[in-house]
């Protein structure tokens, strides 16, 4: 069983959520979801670079990436 085969709440999803803490999108990448990984990496990184307003919005998208990896359920 690979991480992409794991269901919601599995150890693979917990690991994916944890690796999203330092780098948003990395959890989606190890789950095999390339487009979603690129989205979270680029959007969160871009928002963190914006002065003043970027940090709060970047943090929200970063948390979204973590929750998305934890709740992922393959079809």
* Three-state SS sequence of the chain: CCHHHCCCCCHHHHHHHHHCCCCCCHHHHHCCCHHHHHHHHHHHHHHHHCCCCHHHHHHHHHHHHHHHHHHCCCC
Residue 8 has pLDDT above 60, yes or no: no
Query: How high is the pLDDT of residue 1?
Result: 44
For the chain, which residues make up each domain, given as ranges? 3-71
Confidence label for 42 from pLDDT (cuts 50, 70 and 90): very high
User: Taking 60 as the threshold, does the pLDDT of residue 7 lie above it?
Assistant: no
């Amino acid at each position: 069983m690979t991480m992409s085969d794991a269901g919601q709440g599995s150890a693979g999803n917990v690991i994916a959520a944890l690796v999203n803490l330092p780098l948003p999108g990395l959890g989606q990448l190890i789950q095999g979801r390339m487009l979603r990984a690129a989205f979270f990496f680029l959007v969160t990184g871009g928002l963190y670079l914006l002065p003043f307003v970027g940090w709060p919005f970047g943090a929200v998208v970063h948390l979204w990436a973590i929750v998305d990896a934890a709740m992922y359920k393959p079809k």
